[in-house]
Amino acid sequence: MNTVVSFGEIMLRLSTERHLRFSQSKSFAASYGGGEFNVAVSLANYGIESEFVTRIPDNEIGHCALKEMRKMNVTSENVLFGGDRLGIYFLETGAGNRGSNVVYDRANSAIATIQPGTFDWEKILKGKTWFHWSGITPAISQNAADECLLAIKTAHKLGLTISCDLNYRSKLWKYGKTPADIMPELLQYCHVILGDIDTAYFMLGKEKVAPNYTDENALPSLYEKLFDHCTNLKIAATTLRYSINASHQKIGGILYDGEKIYKAAVKEVTPVVDRVGTGDAFMGGLIYGLLNPSFENQKTLEFAVAACCLKHTIVGDYNLATLEEIEHIIEGDGSAKVSR
Amino acid sequence: MNTVVSFGEIMLRLSTERHLRFSQSKSFAASYGGGEFNVAVSLANYGIESEFVTRIPDNEIGHCALKEMRKMNVTSENVLFGGDRLGIYFLETGAGNRGSNVVYDRANSAIATIQPGTFDWEKILKGKTWFHWSGITPAISQNAADECLLAIKTAHKLGLTISCDLNYRSKLWKYGKTPADIMPELLQYCHVILGDIDTAYFMLGKEKVAPNYTDENALPSLYEKLFDHCTNLKIAATTLRYSINASHQKIGGILYDGEKIYKAAVKEVTPVVDRVGTGDAFMGGLIYGLLNPSFENQKTLEFAVAACCLKHTIVGDYNLATLEEIEHIIEGDGSAKVSR
Amino acid sequence: MNTVVSFGEIMLRLSTERHLRFSQSKSFAASYGGGEFNVAVSLANYGIESEFVTRIPDNEIGHCALKEMRKMNVTSENVLFGGDRLGIYFLETGAGNRGSNVVYDRANSAIATIQPGTFDWEKILKGKTWFHWSGITPAISQNAADECLLAIKTAHKLGLTISCDLNYRSKLWKYGKTPADIMPELLQYCHVILGDIDTAYFMLGKEKVAPNYTDENALPSLYEKLFDHCTNLKIAATTLRYSINASHQKIGGILYDGEKIYKAAVKEVTPVVDRVGTGDAFMGGLIYGLLNPSFENQKTLEFAVAACCLKHTIVGDYNLATLEEIEHIIEGDGSAKVSR
Amino acid sequence: MNTVVSFGEIMLRLSTERHLRFSQSKSFAASYGGGEFNVAVSLANYGIESEFVTRIPDNEIGHCALKEMRKMNVTSENVLFGGDRLGIYFLETGAGNRGSNVVYDRANSAIATIQPGTFDWEKILKGKTWFHWSGITPAISQNAADECLLAIKTAHKLGLTISCDLNYRSKLWKYGKTPADIMPELLQYCHVILGDIDTAYFMLGKEKVAPNYTDENALPSLYEKLFDHCTNLKIAATTLRYSINASHQKIGGILYDGEKIYKAAVKEVTPVVDRVGTGDAFMGGLIYGLLNPSFENQKTLEFAVAACCLKHTIVGDYNLATLEEIEHIIEGDGSAKVSR
Amino acid sequence: MNTVVSFGEIMLRLSTERHLRFSQSKSFAASYGGGEFNVAVSLANYGIESEFVTRIPDNEIGHCALKEMRKMNVTSENVLFGGDRLGIYFLETGAGNRGSNVVYDRANSAIATIQPGTFDWEKILKGKTWFHWSGITPAISQNAADECLLAIKTAHKLGLTISCDLNYRSKLWKYGKTPADIMPELLQYCHVILGDIDTAYFMLGKEKVAPNYTDENALPSLYEKLFDHCTNLKIAATTLRYSINASHQKIGGILYDGEKIYKAAVKEVTPVVDRVGTGDAFMGGLIYGLLNPSFENQKTLEFAVAACCLKHTIVGDYNLATLEEIEHIIEGDGSAKVSR
Amino acid sequence: MNTVVSFGEIMLRLSTERHLRFSQSKSFAASYGGGEFNVAVSLANYGIESEFVTRIPDNEIGHCALKEMRKMNVTSENVLFGGDRLGIYFLETGAGNRGSNVVYDRANSAIATIQPGTFDWEKILKGKTWFHWSGITPAISQNAADECLLAIKTAHKLGLTISCDLNYRSKLWKYGKTPADIMPELLQYCHVILGDIDTAYFMLGKEKVAPNYTDENALPSLYEKLFDHCTNLKIAATTLRYSINASHQKIGGILYDGEKIYKAAVKEVTPVVDRVGTGDAFMGGLIYGLLNPSFENQKTLEFAVAACCLKHTIVGDYNLATLEEIEHIIEGDGSAKVSR
């Protein structure tokens, strides 16, 4: 059986409800999530054996995060206790032409202050199928970036498939390094990369580029520069997002396998219940499709897009859509009748 | 004065809030409803003397249901205490392309386990104007179907107008009978039937049919088969529902009085606050219109459609729209300005 | 530095949540607001020194209103204690084709029962830049109308700029006078008036008029009658509101400076989170723009429209949009991406 | 069958929750109650036919009050619509050594502004057994006092038993009359009076008195002055309340039937969930006992005390304790084991 | 390492909050629990490998129960899907002299309708240390009683320690059998029994007995009859509960090991936050103590009593007290200072 | 007029509600508080001009803290923006024998990372009457300790009265220094110290001591060592707290003015609604009393004790008791009757 190991941070998410602004809120909804953890939950939810590796503080808040992992059937046997705090992010959910707003409070978290070499990656990754990381972890701190590189190198050595969601966050990368300082080395081992082409170029320190995703003929040559840098790369994919407003999105996707451009039809998503984690839902769908022997690339891409669409209707960081619900969307049925 | 007696089940409805999925909910909103009860509330709300007949368990949950009937001004003087439990249904309210989901837990309810002959229908129906039932009651259990037949026959004998909402629910009908085994006998006494033509054919055991509701010329002959079977039938009506997604519906309606097809303009309904009970709101509007001497059939249909539209904006099973609000919609004013 | 003094009523607002109707609510969200106070908050929020003058009862509910003023950084040093009660309004927030509904319970409030001459307007307004009032205050009671006139006359004498939002409310004006009895005298001192042209004519006791706001050439002559009556008038502005339904509005605006018609592009607003106070948000934006030396009239109008649009996404009476968020909308970016 | 008619005011109660102070509350729990209505609910709850007579405004808030009456099975057929507003009271529930705090906002309510003679008391009271009123109604306004007198005189003429709970509220009686101006005439028709002896003396304009309720021998002569004034008086009763703190009360009672003093053992009540309406619960128990042919005076008093005790554990204005639960307490079982 | 397997039912618990009665609740807090599951959670919480065996329906509500098991670190690998519904119980939490009230709705649950022999007990219990069941399972249905017997016999054959909490519930045992028909056979294999002596006698069909737990000399001979019947019995224990009222309990305990009576000092428990599951907390503490080689019988008993006391302060069915917190109580420190 | 300047940290407090444990909470109540800020609120609440000096991050969470200061009428004109985060603490409120639990997450807060010399203390303190600090600020970081010393020295130079609440927190002091390294220098300037005698000795690096507060004769010589070290000391006071359990406390107090021991009667406090901030309420009362020319030392102590008692009934960090409520308690009236 396939086992996917994801590595990254799990945070406490504190969000206002019913579109209240921060200054109006006398309470915050508390949940747990983070880019890579959200992918792990998606996979567990699809029946894949899914493990999450992180460090959490040995206090009550850390234990809450651990309980969440267990609840969602994500294996936590290599989670370490240590550090002082769980990273936090505050979320104010927008509506209409007011966007959602995130306030990060994740500096000095248990994973940001990890001593490189703390995890025994040989032991953790042995016998596993797939290793997933994202551009958030190396953005947190030099230590986290170093540990991430150790994990990637070990995964490479042990022959795991390696995937990365580029996940650029302008409010991170505060420790003195730019993506171009760090990401090229990490990305070169990847087999699967999810991200905008311009983001990929930026992280690899290449020239600025403004890809036209509707021009399918021009895309292969743009993606090829990723393949040039990442010699193991097999799949590059991009979520296409057209934001009408905070409550109305259109979602499509592009996948390139080094030979051919695959394209998924753009779907309407309105209203948006929760915008956060929709990219992670795409990533989870992408890995699921690539692991599923019965899926062609076109089906894989459509699965990722449909998973992403459904996540917009679900509160919280991670996707709770079922395989059956996603298949429904792929089959073009967005009518969403009452099931009774 | 007109008195309408509705017979059926009142359930405890346990719903998640703010679009949460079942697994995310630490609490359920508790309310009370059910297809036939919802019709009774609509009528009471329009100033019609409205009675509901059912059986509820003599425990605290049953008494809550009784208090709800009273609050809504629905006469409960023939409600019996008995049986072990109030039926329950769990509701997860969808959004966008994620549909709402219902989990029924209504087996062995007080009404499902009724001993046929328990109600004294002669006494209950004497002096009343109208008897309403729906296809849900005979779908629950053989006992409920038998009691329903007794009620219908008595209503027929006493000369009441009889109406039925076909209300097909695939998750019910689990006791070994199909609709075609049961419904033909019950339906033959009806004067008013609400339902899709294909559902009616299916329940009457007739051939499969795929009616094109935009082809007005073809509809009379399709409806005629209902009139052939139900010799008292005066009005057959159908709610037209176009589901864009769970948050966006378009609602129209068709009414056939044995001579002429009436059609109501399709109205946009977005966002949908609560999809459940919108068909019951249509049914309540239909009965109200047919009882109202000043309403022509066209007005009756438009009233039913407008009532149905407004119900989509109201939380809970039954409609709380006022006569004045419905008239507003009929007059074409959907601008919904603040009244102040 | 500019100081704007607003005069009017602050009320306790009791609203149902999650689209519940009054009869379904076991609790009311409690907040504080009112047309003129909402303008004061907008201005404080934009960094203008903003003072609110009113009378509140010396009980716990009155003190809650005072705490709200302080929290929002609105100067309250001339707020008086007195009277028996804080005005209340109940709000049921609509959705789709069901409009919001307001039940006023503001008769005999502390401000409605004010003895004219209670406030020392000379002292209050000395050294201030701008005085703002609205058509709500004279609609409450003769006493409030009289006090309002005293304030306006003093402001005029001291050379403050005077602005008025016409704010016609059909559920008020219950004390035996019509707007045409009262408003002409009050309006003649104004430099800035916000309101529909037909409302202005109605309040000034002029002929009924049905302005066509798309016919820009016809507008100047219509606005001129205001300028004729109000000899100090410099700016007349109108919020253009097209109500698709309670959840979907389109907002534009017109501004006339006695010479030229300015027009702002109509913006889509969907979904509407809270419709109340959106006109006050426009008014707040208008004053801000007129006080801002770097704003031309066109920019001022666009600022007012954008502020109004954003208010629709914010719960409560007053606008919490920031200068930065409003500028974003003016620049045409309604995509409302997550800021992270 | 006995029918008890209660007359008075039903208010909207807005209370903070979880011991929050007013200034901390962003919402108020909304319920409906009032001294005389609470008695009516108690009686309906015990199976007595119970009617409440009042006037409510014909707006949504008034209709909520009406729905509450129906829900609680209190007959409302003589409730009139009229007036401008429903009375309101704000409640901040204390704890420990911080007492609960009530802010009244009931001036100019529908019942306070009643035109004397509005109710057709002959028709309302004909065929009824008992009329109940309290000292709150004449404390609201002269009009309410006048209407109350009309009701009492009619009840007297028609031979109903008349009961009164003295219910002195120092924050009321603001319309220029003292209790001694008004109450003597109203009280003289009463058969049953509930209240402290010193309150009774005060309301009757008699000398100040400080009764020692532990001195049973001295009590008869004190109560006799009530019997002297009220020539029909049969029963005078007093709730004995020892307030340790807001969360801990001790409750006993005294009843005098003109011949003998009856005394109920003092019971511990801790914690107090809701202190409001506990006197009304005593009153409801007293009427129930006096109507119950199987109850001796001692049992009646113990029933009233036990009902009062249980009300302290119930949220809201009125008592929801069942006959069975009250009997349990009378039998001395306060252990309150889980029933399962 | 020790592994304890518990067998029984997990239910959906729907409880009112803030002491509301059922008829006042517009929502129910939803959690999951049940006598044997609660023991399993206690043990997992103490670091014991703890497994729960049951059957749950394959619907969303069943999956919620499964997620709860995982969250609490209770092994669920032998949980089966099947049956139609998860059992439900409604809970109204009392206060003071009003007791809590339970309404069961657990008939026809997945475990009640289990076909005996469905579980492969040989496989499940192999290599495990301890098997725990309670008197609730055989009280549900004949099928559940039969399956329970199969489990016990297999546990006996495989040499596991077997424990039982007698847990008599008068609202169960509705399927035609009395405890004395069923329990003697099941109990005879037990090594550890928790329960009142009179309950044990009643379940074993012995004479009625009214043990005086303060008479330590008389207890051994009373307990001996259990040892006579249950030839493997090593430990019989009883929770001593003195109920002052629903919010104030006193908790002690007795343990007899066939030789000596152990007694734990009675502890004050006030206020009671949640009374349900406190006996299960005692049972969990008892098993933990007996499995802990460093615990003497006296310490074990004190641990069970302290665990039981702390559970009264915790919302929900199962105990969340930590080992450290329990030790604190044993050491006599009930002062409960803030830890900071 | 007197102006009191308090210096320290304001934190976001995230607390579970209704006695839920952290792992059960899906939301946290959000409020703002901190030892020194709580004192500032008490004083503002008593009508003293009260200013709070701190640094907060310039993000939405920091602005929420600022709004809270304003709401509570605490002057914030010298609050600086800077640093990365607002300190956080998580609070789980206990009950009965389960104590409350605090998880600190305040490292690297805006005030902890302050560059010493950032505040212009000369300007801030000029013309002010009193400077208040507590032992928490120097416990956070070396920087905070350094800034605190600068403030104290400036206050001393400018002749302000200086007070300190020792406030020892074992979970702080993590930056390599012990209280004895830091506190002696800071304390020497104080005129008023609140704290246990043993804590004072510990912080001053003196011998361990176990004072017997019931032995009034022995206390002066113990307090004298503080006076010896702190040459300006005028008042040393101690809150006496007897913790029966988390819901039941007994509160008294001792005050020594260098000549005489004053003692306040011990008061019962039950139930405890919120234990946090009760010491700060004592401190606020102490300063108020010392500033009040009409208060003798005995009255001052009783005022502080009564304020402390009332705070236990109030949710949140700071005291909302009014002067009138506190006087009530001093006068011995703890009966807490309903005010109506």
What are the CA-CA distances from residue B127 to residues B50, B121, B122, B198 (Å)? Answer: 13, 11, 10, 35
In this predicted structure, the answer to whether residue E159 has a pLDDT above a threshold of 80 is yes
What is the rounded CA–CA span in Å between residue C7 and residue C37? 8
**Sign (positive/negative) of CA torsion F312, F318, F322, F327?**
positive
Contact B103 E26 (CB under 8 A): no
Q: Determine contact, residues A83/A139, Cβ cutoff 8 Å.
A: no
List of chain B residues whose C-beta atoms are within 8 Å of the C-beta of residue C104: 340
List of chain C residues whose C-beta atoms are within 8 Å of the C-beta of residue A99: 335-339
Listing DSSP states for B179-229 in one string gives HHHHHHHHHTT-SEEES-HHHHHHHTT-------TT-TTTHHHHHHHHHHH
F102 closest CA partner among F111, F116, F91: F91
Nearest CA in chain F to A62: F23
Backbone angles phi, psi at E63, to 5 degrees: -65, -30
Q: How many CB atoms lie within 10 A of CB A174?
A: 12
Chain D: residues touching C (Cβ < 8 Å): 14, 22-23, 25-31, 59-61, 63-64, 67, 84-85, 88, 90, 92, 101, 103, 105, 107-108
Q: Is position C57 within any domain? A: yes
Q: Which of A22, A27, A67 sits opposite F23 (nearest CB)?
A: A67
Show the tokens assigned to E307. 């665990």
What is the rounded CA–CA span in Å between residue A190 and residue A207? 21
Show the tokens assigned to A247. 């409550």
List of chain A residues whose C-beta atoms are within 8 Å of the C-beta of residue C321: 98
pLDDT in tens, F255-309: 999 999 999 999 999 999 999 999 999 999 999 999 999 999 999 999 999 999 9
Q: Which of F22, F64, F108 sits opposite A60 (nearest CB)?
A: F22
A134: three-class secondary structure by DSSP: strand
What is the rounded CA–CA span in Å between residue C70 and residue A16? 23
Nearest CA in chain C to B18: C18
Q: Which of C23, C24, C169 sits opposite B340 (nearest CB)?
A: C169
Nearest CA in chain F to A64: F23
Place of tokens 């009436």: B262
List of chain F residues whose C-beta atoms are within 8 Å of the C-beta of residue E325: 98
Burial label for E16, CB within 10 Å (0-12, 13-18, 19+), is buried
pLDDT, averaged across chain B: 96
Q: What is the pLDDT of residue E339?
A: 79
The amino acid present at C218, given as its one-letter code, is: A
Which chains neighbour A (Cβ–Cβ under 8 Å, 3 or more pairs)? B, C, E, F
What is the rounded CA–CA span in Å between residue E294 and residue F75? 59
List of chain D residues whose C-beta atoms are within 8 Å of the C-beta of residue E250: none
Q: Is position C335 within any domain? A: no
Residues D84-94 have a mean pLDDT of 96
C263: three-class secondary structure by DSSP: strand
Q: Is position C49 within any domain? A: yes
Q: How far apart are the first and last CA of chain B?
A: 35
The runs of H, that is alpha helices, within F188-331 are: 197-203, 219-229, 278-291, 297-311, 323-330
List of chain A residues whose C-beta atoms are within 8 Å of the C-beta of residue C314: 19, 21, 98
What are the CA-CA distances from residue F271 to residues A152, D271, E271, F98, F311 (Å)? Answer: 56, 8, 8, 14, 12
List of chain A residues whose C-beta atoms are within 8 Å of the C-beta of residue B276: 338
Q: Is position E52 within any domain? A: yes
Q: Which of F28, F31, F67 sits opposite A30 (nearest CB)?
A: F28
Question: Measured at the alpha carbon of residue F264, what is the angle toward residues F259 and F266, in degrees to the nearest 5?
Answer: 145
Nearest CA in chain F to E309: F97
Q: Which of B271, B337, B340 sits opposite C243 (nearest CB)?
A: B337
Question: Measured at the alpha carbon of residue A89, what is the angle toward residues A85 and A94, in degrees to the nearest 5?
Answer: 170
Show the tokens assigned to D285. 């128990």
Q: Which of D30, D85, D103 sits opposite C25 (nearest CB)?
A: D30
What is the rounded CA–CA span in Å between residue C43 and residue C277? 14
**pLDDT class of C21 with cuts at 50, 70, 90:** very high
Listing DSSP states for D162-201 in one string gives EEEE----TT---SS--HHHHHHHHHTT-SEEES-HHHHH
pLDDT in tens, E257-277: 999 999 999 999 999 999 999
What is the rounded CA–CA span in Å between residue A243 and residue F296? 68
What is the rounded CA–CA span in Å between residue A90 and residue B272? 29
Contact B247 A338 (CB under 8 A): no
Q: Which of D24, D97, D102 sits opposite F329 (nearest CB)?
A: D97
| Pair type for strands E101-105 and E130-134 | unpaired
Listing DSSP states for F198-221 in one string gives HHHHHHTT-------TT-TTTHHH
Residues E223-240 have a mean pLDDT of 97
What is the rounded CA–CA span in Å between residue F125 and residue F150? 12
Listing DSSP states for B22-38 in one string gives GGG-SEEEEEEE-HHHH
A229 closest CA partner among A201, A252, A256, A249: A201
Q: Determine contact, residues C292/C330, Cβ cutoff 8 Å.
A: no
| Closest chain D C-alpha to B76 CA, distance in angstroms | 11
List of chain F residues whose C-beta atoms are within 8 Å of the C-beta of residue D99: 335-339
pLDDT in tens, A193-213: 999 999 999 999 999 999 999
Listing DSSP states for E73-98 in one string gives T-B-TTPEE-SS---EEEEE--BTTB
Q: Is position A260 within any domain? A: yes
pLDDT in tens, A132-152: 999 999 999 999 999 999 999
Contact C99 B272 (CB under 8 A): no
In this predicted structure, the answer to whether residue E90 has a pLDDT above a threshold of 90 is yes
Q: Which of F19, F97, F100 sits opposite E338 (nearest CB)?
A: F100
A321 closest CA partner among E31, B19, E70: B19
In this predicted structure, the answer to whether residue D60 has a pLDDT above a threshold of 90 is yes
In this predicted structure, the answer to whether residue A226 has a pLDDT above a threshold of 80 is yes
Chain D: residues touching F (Cβ < 8 Å): 18-21, 23-24, 89, 94-102, 104, 169-171, 243-248, 271, 275-276
Nearest CA in chain E to B63: E23
In this predicted structure, the answer to whether residue D340 has a pLDDT above a threshold of 80 is no
Q: Is position D92 within any domain? A: yes
List of chain D residues whose C-beta atoms are within 8 Å of the C-beta of residue F321: 98
Contact D334 E247 (CB under 8 A): no
What is the rounded CA–CA span in Å between residue B244 and residue C97? 17
Q: How many CB atoms lie within 10 A of CB C75?
A: 18
Show the tokens assigned to D78. 């003589």
Residues C1-16 have a mean pLDDT of 96
C134 closest CA partner among C123, C144, C121: C144
Q: What is the pLDDT of residue D2?
A: 93
* CATH at residue D188: 3.40.1190.20
| Closest chain A C-alpha to F22 CA, distance in angstroms | 7
Q: What is the pLDDT of residue A337?
A: 79
List of chain D residues whose C-beta atoms are within 8 Å of the C-beta of residue C171: none
Q: What is the pLDDT of residue D9?
A: 98
Q: What is the pLDDT of residue C263?
A: 97
Which chains neighbour E (Cβ–Cβ under 8 Å, 3 or more pairs)? A, B, D, F
The amino acid present at B239, given as its one-letter code, is: T
**pLDDT class of E329 with cuts at 50, 70, 90:** very high
In this predicted structure, the answer to whether residue A171 has a pLDDT above a threshold of 90 is no
What is the rounded CA–CA span in Å between residue F210 and residue B82? 69
Listing DSSP states for D295-326 in one string gives --HHHHHHHHHHHHHHHTTSSSSS----HHHH
What is the rounded CA–CA span in Å between residue F195 and residue F179? 14
Q: Determine contact, residues E313/F19, Cβ cutoff 8 Å.
A: yes
**B108-117 core/surface letters (b: 16 or more CB in 10 A; e: else):** bbbbbbbeee
Q: What is the pLDDT of residue F209?
A: 95
Which chains neighbour F (Cβ–Cβ under 8 Å, 3 or more pairs)? A, C, D, E
| Closest chain B C-alpha to D340 CA, distance in angstroms | 13
**E209-246 core/surface letters (b: 16 or more CB in 10 A; e: else):** eebebeeeeebeebbebbbebbeebbbbbbbbbebbbb
Show the tokens assigned to F248. 């039941």
Place of tokens 């320290």: F8
Q: Determine contact, residues C334/A97, Cβ cutoff 8 Å.
A: yes
What secondary structure letter does DSSP report for F86?
A: -
| Closest chain E C-alpha to A58 CA, distance in angstroms | 14
Q: What is the 3-state secondary structure (H, E, C) of A63-122?
A: HHHHHHHHHCCCECCCCEECCCCCCEEEEECCECCECCEEEEECCCCCCCCCCCCCCCHH
D305 closest CA partner among D258, D261, D255, D259: D255
Backbone angles phi, psi at F73, to 5 degrees: 65, 30
pLDDT, averaged across chain E: 96
E202 closest CA partner among E175, E236, E167, E171: E167
pLDDT in tens, E23-80: 999 999 999 999 999 999 999 999 999 999 999 999 999 999 999 999 999 999 999 9
Q: Is position A190 within any domain? A: yes
Backbone angles phi, psi at A181, to 5 degrees: -75, -30
Q: Is position E307 within any domain? A: no
Q: Determine contact, residues B87/B137, Cβ cutoff 8 Å.
A: no
pLDDT in tens, B142-186: 999 999 999 999 999 999 999 999 999 988 999 999 999 999 999
List of chain E residues whose C-beta atoms are within 8 Å of the C-beta of residue D336: 94, 96-100, 243, 245-247
| Closest chain C C-alpha to F132 CA, distance in angstroms | 24
Contact D60 C101 (CB under 8 A): yes
List of chain C residues whose C-beta atoms are within 8 Å of the C-beta of residue B270: 96, 245, 247-248
Contact E27 B22 (CB under 8 A): no
What domain count does chain E have? 1
What is the rounded CA–CA span in Å between residue B315 and residue B12? 14
Contact E73 A70 (CB under 8 A): yes
Confidence (pTM): 0.96
**pLDDT class of F335 with cuts at 50, 70, 90:** confident
List of chain A residues whose C-beta atoms are within 8 Å of the C-beta of residue C312: 96
In this predicted structure, the answer to whether residue F333 has a pLDDT above a threshold of 80 is no
List of chain A residues whose C-beta atoms are within 8 Å of the C-beta of residue F61: 22, 90, 103, 105
Domain hosting C19: range is 3-327
Following CA atoms D313, D315, D319, D321 in sequence, which dihedral angle do they give, to the nearest 10 degrees? -50
